[in-house]
Amino acid sequence: MDKLKIAIQKSGRLSEKSLQLLSECGIKISNGNRKLKTEAKNFPMEILFLRDDDIPQYVENGVADIGILGENEVWEKEKDVDEIEKLGFGNCRLSLAIPKDEVYTDLDYFNGKRIATSYPKILKKYFGVKGIDVKIEELGGSVEIATGIGLADGIFDIVSTGSTLLMNGLKEVEAIIKSEAVLIANKNINETKQQLLDRLLFRIRAYKRGIGSKYIVMNAPNKSIPKICSILPGMKSPSVLPLAEEGWSSVHSVVQEDQFWDVIDALKDVEAQGILVMNIEKMIL
Ligand code: PRT
Ligand code: ZN
């Protein structure tokens, strides 16, 4: 039977999270010592452990059917693959940075300047569109030291907390694009593999929805229920159950993580009490 071949990063920032995602999707993998490849025990899946730089190429040529990697690598490699689903981890941005004592005005600052980066294609395209002429110094790594050693006037690199820039006497002057881990797929996978991919995607989406939502339960006097219902959207509408105490109910609902505190503030104003908040493991619509 066909197996879905997935490429994930062998060792790096996305490795553990990629394995965790598969585990949250109920896929069990035995891989004590991280060989080149392994098989899932309970899903028709083969897992290939690769350098993230190589994943777009392997997915394009069908050695792997799907892969997990940073969008930044997908854009830079410009391979012919489908971006299927953003995964919500590995978040970072690609930014331009210059020595902290330089005076920065606007993007024209970079006209005629040398910029070191591991992402020359993304950078070239960006400045091409802006009509600004820069000299790109391509580096495999340690981009943040390029200005200090006189190789470049500025850098274009991945930033997460900004502490690497700070430590190297640099300041971020333009955040160009945001990136996160993404699932990519070969453009010509067969029907059986497409079905397996659909099953995997169904599970990934249930997990993502779960971590993006909270389950809340509260008690409230019956007269407050209409107001509470208007605050709580829920999946359909909130569940309202009578309490043993006359005139009171228990209200259950699901709230998006990013609206959570606003909703809680609004609920307190309409006499909701004993509000309980719980994590949701999976959410199937
Ligand atoms: O060996 P392999 O080629 O597989 O790994 P790699 O060394 O190329 O990649 P790795 O493991 O460093 O990163 C994998 C992916 O994680 C990247 O392609 C991004 O999509 C994502 N990611 C998220 C990051 C960061 N955050 C990040 N902070 N990748 C790199 N960094 C580095 C950045 O290059 C800089 O040196 O961390 C430093 C900046 O971090 P802050 O927090 O100091 O700003
Ligand atoms: Zn890499």
pLDDT in tens, 217-276: 999 999 999 999 989 876 677 899 999 999 999 999 999 888 889 999 999 899 899 999
**Residue 33 clears pLDDT 70, i.e. is over it:** no
The Å distance, Cα 141 to ligand 2 centre, comes to 9
- Judge if the beta carbon of residue 180 lies within 6 A of ligand 1: no
CA of 10, closest atom in ligand 1: 4
Work out the average pLDDT over 43-49.
Answer: 96
For residue 1, give the 3-state DSSP assignment: coil
79-110 pLDDT, tens digit per residue, is 999 999 999 999 999 999 999 999 999 999 99
Encoded amino acid at 1, one letter: M
- Judge if the beta carbon of residue 172 lies within 6 A of ligand 1: no
The Å distance, Cα 53 to ligand 2 centre, comes to 5
Which pLDDT belongs to residue 149? 96
In the 8-state DSSP scheme, what is residue 223? G
What confidence tier does 35 reach under pLDDT thresholds 50, 70, 90? confident
Work out the average pLDDT over 33-57.
Answer: 92
The Å distance, Cα 146 to ligand 1 centre, comes to 17
**Nearest ligand to the C-alpha atom of residue 68:** 1
C-alpha–C-alpha distance, residues 209 and 74, integer Å: 24
Work out the average pLDDT over 155-167.
Answer: 97
Work out the average pLDDT over 138-154.
Answer: 96
The Å distance, Cα 193 to ligand 2 centre, comes to 27
Cα R_g (the chain), whole angstroms? 24
- Judge if the beta carbon of residue 76 lies within 6 A of ligand 1: no
With beta carbons less than 8 A apart as the criterion, state whether 25 and 207 touch: yes
Pocket probe for ligand 1: among 48, 50, 51, 52, the residue whose CB has the most ligand atoms within 8 Å is 52
Average pLDDT, the chain: 94
Which pLDDT belongs to residue 30? 79
Percent of residues, the chain, with pLDDT higher than 90:
89
Encoding tokens for residue 126? 């960006």
Classify strands 248-256 and 181-185 as parallel, antiparallel or unpaired.
Answer: unpaired
| 166/237: higher pLDDT | 166
- Judge if the beta carbon of residue 158 lies within 6 A of ligand 1: yes
Which pLDDT belongs to residue 234? 63
**Residue 67 clears pLDDT 80, i.e. is over it:** yes
- Judge if the beta carbon of residue 253 lies within 6 A of ligand 1: no
What pTM, to 2 d.p., does this model score? 0.91
C-alpha–C-alpha distance, residues 12 and 16, integer Å: 8
